[in-house]
Structure formats: structure tokens, C-alpha cells
Chain A
Amino acid sequence: MNKLFILAVFLCGSILYPRPAPAADAAHGKALYRVYCTQCHGLSGDGKGINAPQLSVQPRNHRDRAEMSARTDDDLFKAIKEGGQAVNKSILMPNWDGNMTDAEIHDVVAYLRELCCAGAK
């Protein structure tokens, strides 16, 4: 009975206090973005990188507040890690799981939030 009680408390605790998302570093995300993302999404994140004119599907404008606000952090994380097709978007968005760790991808997501929505609050 004691063990069951302890287990119940533990489970309730886990539910009530879920593990927080890792603290993301937007500054590092910015550096990663420049290396991996700007070739298509643009130096300023406007979706007009050097590759964009040749793409059959235009890259996302990460400065578009309305568009970006419609996506959760999890959506963005999945798109970066697993590629566009994983979120029903274009194959032209690569999966970056071979190039960045999960923690780094979270950093990029944090930077994306700054790009689109800084000053909104």
C-alpha cells in the first residue's frame, strides 16, 4: 500500500510538473541559422536566399509574424530535424538531424521566434 501510494504521488507529480523544454540559446541559434539556413531562407530570413530563385517551392519567410505564429515550436523543431515532408511540406526542405543535435535545433527554433516575433510582446 505504501509503495502504491508513493508511485501514485510520483506519477501525479510528473503530470503536474512536466519536464520543461531545454533552455534554448537564440544567439547560438543565430549562428547555426547563418551556416545552415540562410542559403535558402536568406541572410535576413526573408525567404530570398541565393538558392531561392531556382526552387520550385519558395522558402518560408521567417520574418512573417502571422505565418510563423501559426506554427508551434514543436512544428518548427520537427520541420528542421526531419525535413519538410515530415510536416507535409516540400522535399526541398532537408532534414538537418545529421548536422545539428536536438539541442542545437532548439536553439534555431528560439532564434526563429526572435526573427518573426521580437517586439510583439
Chain B
Amino acid sequence: MRKVIALGGAALMTALSVTSALAAEAPASIQKDCAVCHQMSGPVSPDLAARQTRKGPPLFFAGNKFRRDWLEAWLQKPTRIRPAGDFAPDHAAKGPEGDAVDAASLSDHPVVDAPAAKQIADYLMTLTPNAALLAKEDYTPGRVSARIGAMDFVKFKGCSGCHKDTPKYGGFSGPELYTAWQRLQPPFIVSYIRDPAAWEPRTLMPNKHLNTAGIHKLANYLRTIGEKPEKAK
């Protein structure tokens, strides 16, 4: 099994266990540890080779992208968000019925303890170089019925080719989207759909050239499916 992440959880916890007196040094240690797999300073390289060798999503704009509370919680109990890893061709294997995800080639994200998770989340939220992109978006979250939203997602826009809008249905090569609403800031969702390459040259996400209404409809669907668990309470 190929270890994509060399740094173990224990080592990460040790490295990130800093006292309050050393809090000023936290950014440097976070930068160093996260940089094993994540790009911590911009910009994203337009070289094809850079995308092929990437191990994890860039974090230098994490403060523009992630919801802070979700990030802190996830670091303590990480789950896989991209079924086929960050670069699907590296984690696909040929089988008798076609290619399948090679689970053995996927590595788990290190588990971070609560104090370190808080520190990391606080720090990553300070990384906001793309605030101007978010400022362009004027999005007020709305509602779309699950049925209409699913039809839009699957039939009209084809997002399900790469993304899952339920744990059981959709493609494997893109991040799961049934948790997108919990993970991502709404303006980022809208901005990324509008122009993925503005955030990441060599992104694997096509630009569907949707109008604003179409983009907001998709974002609203992500809200609908994302908030569904709460309705079950």
C-alpha cells in the first residue's frame, strides 16, 4: 500500500501540541505539517504535471472556502470526501468489468486532537487571498425541492457524472456533494461553479457557463440535500 501521507497522526499531534506561550509559532508548524500534502501558498500552478502529482486540495485559500466549525470537527474525525482520492487516475484499477476505485491505494487523513484542530481551523480561516472572487457573488440561500433539484443535478446539468448527491448515487471522481453545504461557505460554492479555473487552474471541474439563476439553483439543491439530516430530527 502506497503511503500518500507520510506523517502519522501521532507525529502530527506531537508536532502541533504547542503551549499558549508558543502560539505565535503555530502558523509555521501548521504550514509545515499541512504542506506535506497541501499547497499552503498560492498561486495554483497551471502545469498539468502539478495536478497529476497533487496529493490534496490547496489550502492557501481555505478561509475563503471552508466553514470553520465543520473544519475543526472534521480534523478530529476525518472522513473521505473524494471517493477516488484527489487524483482519480492514480486510484483506479482495471477489473473484469471495467475500472474501479482501488481502495487499498487510498490513505486516510491524520486524526488531529481537539486543541490542535481548533488551532488549525483558526489559522486556516485567516487564509483569504480570494476574497475579491467571493465579493462578486450576491447569493441569498434559497430553497428548491429535492425532486426538482435532483432532476437538475442529474438530468439537466449532468453533475452526477462525477459527483454524488447521495451516498449511493453518482460518480466517484469528484468530491461528494451531499455534504458540500456543511463543508463549504455558500459564496464559495457559487463562485466555484461559476468559474472553477479562477480558483484552480487545471481544475478537473468543467465550466458549464451557467447563468446566475442556474448556479443559484444548484447551490440551493446542495443546501436542500445538506440540511436534510436536520429535518430528520
Contact = CB atoms under 8 A, between A and B. Distances in A.
B158 A35 contact: no
Contacts of B97: 48
B166 to A, nearest CB: 11
Contact of A97 (B101, B161, B207): B207
Interface string B193-228: 001110000111111110000000000000000000
What bracket does the count of chain B residues touching chain A fall in? 35 or more
B80 interface: no
B47 to A, nearest CB: 11
A54 B161 CA distance: 7
Given A35-B52, A97-B207, A99-B203, A48 B99 contact: yes
A43 B89 contact: yes
Interface residue SS majority, chain A:
loop
Interface residues of A, number: 32
B160 A39 contact: no
A95 B208 contact: yes
Contacts, number: 103
Interface of A: 31-32, 34-36, 38-40, 42-44, 46, 48-56, 83, 90-99
A88 to B, nearest CB: 15
B116 interface: no
B157 interface: yes
Contacts of B98: 42, 46, 48-50, 52-53
Contacts of B205: 99
Contact of A49 (B99, B154, B158): B99
Contact of B161 (A31, A38, A55, A99): A55
